Amino acid sequence: MDPVAPPIGDLSPGEVRVLGCLVEKEATVPDTYPLTLNSLRTACNQATSRDPVVQYSDHDVEVALAALRQRGLTRTVHSTSNRAIKYRHVLPEVLELDSAATAVLAVLMLRGPQTVGELKSRTERQHAFDSAEQVADVLAGLAARPTPLVRRLERQPGQKDARWVHLLSPVPDGASPVAPQQEAAARGPIDTSTIADPYGAATAEFYDLLATGMWEPFGLQLLDLLSDVDPATGPIVDVGVGTGVGLPYLAAAVPGASIWAIEPSRAMRTALHTRMLLDDQLRTAVTVVPFGMADAPLPERASAVVVSAAYGHLTDDERRRLWRYVAEQLAPGAPAVIGVLPPDRAIDVEPVRYRQLEVGSYTYEGWQQGEPIDDRTMRWTMTYKVLDGDAVVAEYSTLSRWRCDGPADVRDEIAPFGLALDEHEGCVVVRRPG
């Protein structure tokens, strides 16, 4: 029976890289396969046996994995002895490949177009071919399929031997690498059930509807924690301001203060600007800074710093810049208020509805589910439903990573910067001594 037509002719470069790494590592390091997210990212970014060399983030790899999982090419593995989720491929099963053909495809996926001789040498760790003729036979078989998986390229001037290229992707030879989330955006959404854009369009659309009530306790707390702030010492820097749900509380807590609103998501900023246009006080007080914390221009002096619900999303580089800024440029004795949300260690969270709201004829629901990536990191799936009675009108899900932190973790992070910390319900207050 002929192999079925594979559902993979339009894989993105990022998806090809991730799939190729899974295939390679299964053969070369079987003791550590399936791979954790960290191991898979390292495999994608290694400088040897890769063309081109790329620098993918964890999120980049997760985007590619989501697409591959939808196509039925990868699986997640949950170990009873290890809480970290691992990933494996099922390429040979989907395409009905033997080990020789799998090895050839893996090298083509990871190193681009290759000659027969190069393939014989570079597949050695995955499958030992006795001769170049055996490699040529495998290539001929892959090319002769009803849906070809490889193609022979025309020899270019100066080339002694013709090269072969895989047909799992339409990306032309020599194309520069692009981050997987950019690839996905260019070709349209993968599926509404696996949108890997945690604070993009889907989240921004529903954030105000479903999260506003949950934000209120922290907002009321800010009224107290910021009551002694002197606006004359500088602006308030709000990191990860989102749609601006908390800005009215900041404005009320420190009348007359200017506010620098740090927000990297364009979709969230769209909602933020709308909120500001409807509020004269916010429109004059708030400066929207369209960058993440690692790159944002910041005022020379700040009267306060606020990181409400975004601290778990900050990268290591963003955290280091945050604490350096607090240590060097926050007014002495002024507060940096950091929201510290449970859990403080990664756990499994079963799907739970956290909000339901009726607007017009429709009912809006927010659902969340979490799973550990490692002891400190979780993957959250946020699902937004629009219902007409019992009928689902629309449903969107987003994926995001979250670093779990408790007060002790923040205390360890700020120790090198000489900062002091006080614990409060649901947050910590960090100050520059003096």
Same domain, 165 and 202: no
Residues in the chain: 434
Residues of the chain below pLDDT 70: 1-8, 78-84, 157-158, 171-201, 212
Same domain, 42 and 76: yes
The number of distinct structural domains making up the chain is 2
Name the DSSP letter for residue 231: G
Q: Dig out the tokens for 163 from the structure.
A: 């090269």
Same domain, 361 and 381: yes
Same domain, 419 and 362: yes
Q: Report the pLDDT value the prediction gives residue 173, as an integer from 0 to 100.
A: 45
Q: What are 86-113's pLDDT values in tens digits?
A: 899 999 998 989 999 999 999 999 999 9
Same domain, 153 and 78: yes
- Selection from 78, 74, 80 nearest residue 61 by Cα: 74
Q: What are 266-320's pLDDT values in tens digits?
A: 889 999 999 999 999 999 999 999 988 988 899 999 999 999 989 999 988 899 9
Q: Which of 129, 160, 186 is where one domain is finished?
A: 186
Q: Report the pLDDT value the prediction gives residue 415, as an integer from 0 to 100.
A: 96
Q: Which residue has the tokens 């629901």?
A: 365
Give the range of the structural domain holding residue 365, as residue numbers without chain letter.
Answer: 192-434
Q: Report the pLDDT value the prediction gives residue 5, as an integer from 0 to 100.
A: 44
Q: Report the pLDDT value the prediction gives residue 79, as an integer from 0 to 100.
A: 58
> What's the CA gap between 119 and 45, in Å, rounded?
21
Residues 232, 248, 208, 280: what is their CA dihedral angle, to the nearest 10 degrees? -90
Q: Report the pLDDT value the prediction gives residue 363, as an integer from 0 to 100.
A: 96
Q: Dig out the tokens for 34 from the structure.
A: 């399936």
Is 4 within a domain?
no
Q: Report the pLDDT value the prediction gives residue 82, as an integer from 0 to 100.
A: 56
Counting residues of the chain whose pLDDT is more than 70, the rounded percentage is 88
Q: Which residue has the tokens 């520069």?
A: 176
Same domain, 236 and 256: yes
Question: What DSSP assignment string belongs to 396-427?
Answer: EEEEEEEE---HHHHHHHHGGGT-EEEEETTE
Q: Which of 186, 221, 247 is where one domain is finished?
A: 186
Q: Report the pLDDT value the prediction gives residue 135, as an integer from 0 to 100.
A: 94
Same domain, 121 and 261: no
- Selection from 108, 6, 137 nearest residue 50 by Cα: 108
Predicted TM-score (pTM) of this structure: 0.59
